[in-house]
Structures are given as C-alpha cells and as structure tokens.
Copies of this chain bind each other. A is one copy, B any other.
C-alpha cells in the first residue's frame, strides 16, 4: 500500500475515529467490545461497496467513505436502531496513496461525528483488485422491537419517506444524461446519488409500533416486493402519489420515460413501510417530528407481488430498464 504503511494508517488516521469509545481500545487490540443498553439488544448489519460497481473509482475518497457508512446506517434506520459504532474491512489496491487515505479518513470522521457512530475496529488488507469497503454497523433497539420486513398486513398503508427516484436520476446525470437540466437540479440529483441520508429519527420512531419497514436500495418496486414476499401479501403503488423532488419533476417533464428509473432505480435509501390505516395520522406526525416528509403511496393487499397503477388506475409493468402498460 501507500508510503504511510498499514500500521501508521491505522494509528494516525483511523484510531482517532474511535473518538475514545471505551470498547474500541483505540484500535490496539484484536477485537472490540459492545454492550447494548439495559433492555436493549444489538442490531448488526453488513454492506460492502466495490469500486466500479457501487461507486465510480474516481469518486472523492471522503464521499466513498461516507456512502459506505451511510448505506449501513440506513439499514439501522429501517430496523429502528440507534447507531452504536462500526467495524470496517478495507481492501486497498496498490495505487492508493497517502493523500487518498487522508481524505478517506477525513470524510469518514465527518460522519462518525454527524451520526455519533465511532469506528470500533477493522481490518486493512492489500488487494490486486478494486478498492472495497465492507462496513459492519451496530445499533440497538429495545429487545424484540426491531422493525421487520415481515410484519405488513393486508390493508396497511404503504408509505415512503422523502422523495423517490432522485438517486437513480442522479446516477443518470453522472453518466451525462438530461443535458438540458438546470444546474441546481443536476447538483441536487447528483448529491442525492452520492450521499444517502439515513432516516434514523423516523426509523427509530417507527420501532415498536405496528409496522413493516426496509430502506430502498434495490429500487422502490423491488423493495416493496421484498416486504410483500416476507409478509406473504401483495401491494399497490399509485404512481400519481409518488413524492418527487422539483429536480425529478423537471427531468420527468422533458423525459417522461424516466418514470421507469424512479420506480425501478435503486440507491434512494429512503424508508418504505406499511402501517395500519388507524396509525396513519400519528405516523405522519412522527415524520413531521423527525423533520422528514412521509407520503402514503399505496397500500398492501391480499395476494402477492406489486401492482403499479398509473394516474388513470391502469396497471403498468416496471423494470429498471423501462415500463410498459400491461
């Protein structure tokens, strides 16, 4: 690896990211210790990102680090967990230099503080292949209160947080599409692609209530399908109800076919969840309290699979490549 060497990289750049968390031992031991608060259990999740697959190899190092952490925090958010810390396995190609490592650690440190989520340990290895960051994040929930995918019931209202489709359109922008789009809209969509916003406050507010939840990483339709599969029910998404950003609306005004990307594209890291209709008003209030919009976009129903209805109530078929009327 770089001139800094593995031990100095850990000592100088990574150990400060422990922020003196007691169980991290300043990265000087073989393992970390973690203990959930009284009455709580630990929630653990792992997500790996690979250069050229999940991000562009020349993306800013700080953004790569922050996205790698945030996709895990988004899983914790969906499960209703409060972040406690994380472990990181880092596979570094030989072309990575000290400047890159410093910027990576600086970006990571920014989000360690933003989410009060210290680095607790890790492993750094050399690879002849692309850069890979594998983060295992830990959170805690009251015992038995983790929000499951499997708890949706027919009749539940399907809701999403924030706006949908921005990240997929942002990836398109990064690839040079929608050239006529205004600069501020381009910047907004790119930002939404590059830096997910884990909806921790909302997710934690949903924990322990009747709800089923996940975060949207594979795409709205696919992920609602995952809730359906685990809950043994079906769902209806009404396209006309989708919460869209001004930037996404601007794309769709000129490129209506981009609705397929909104419905099928991934990486939004918003929450998709079902709640009983009687809880809808209180759920919208939880969103307001958490500072994030919550929008009902359909419902769960008996059966299986996800039906998508256009503004006229006509079913359409969606894939990440496009959609057609059935």
Q: Among B29, B138, B143, which residue has its beta carbon within 8 angstroms of that of A148? A: B29
Name the distance in Å between A116's Cβ and chain B's nearest Cβ: 18
Instruction: For chain A, give the interface size range.
Output: 35 or more
Complex contact B89–A48 (CB within 8 A): yes
Q: Is the contact region of chain A dominated by helix, strand, or loop, or is it mixed? A: strand
Q: How many monomers of this protein are in the complex?
A: 2
Give every chain B residue within 8 A of A150 (Cβ-Cβ).
Answer: 25, 28-29
Interchain CA distance A48-B125 in the complex, whole Å: 7
A238 within 8 A of B: no
Interchain CA distance A247-B252 in the complex, whole Å: 71
Find residues 32-91 in chain A having any chain B CB closer than 8 Å to their own CB: 32-36, 41-50, 52-54, 75-76, 78-79, 81, 87-89, 91
**Known A-B contacts A33-B43, A130-B128; A28 and B123 likewise in contact (beta carbons under 8 Å):** no
**Known A-B contacts A91-B132, A143-B35; A149 and B29 likewise in contact (beta carbons under 8 Å):** yes
Binding site for B on A (CB under 8 A): 23, 25, 28-36, 41-50, 52-54, 75-76, 78-79, 81, 87-89, 91, 120-123, 125-130, 132, 134, 136, 138-139, 141, 143, 146, 148-150, 214-215, 230
10 A-B Cβ contacts within 8 A? A29-B146, A30-B75, A30-B79, A31-B75, A33-B41, A33-B42, A34-B44, A44-B136, A50-B125, A134-B134
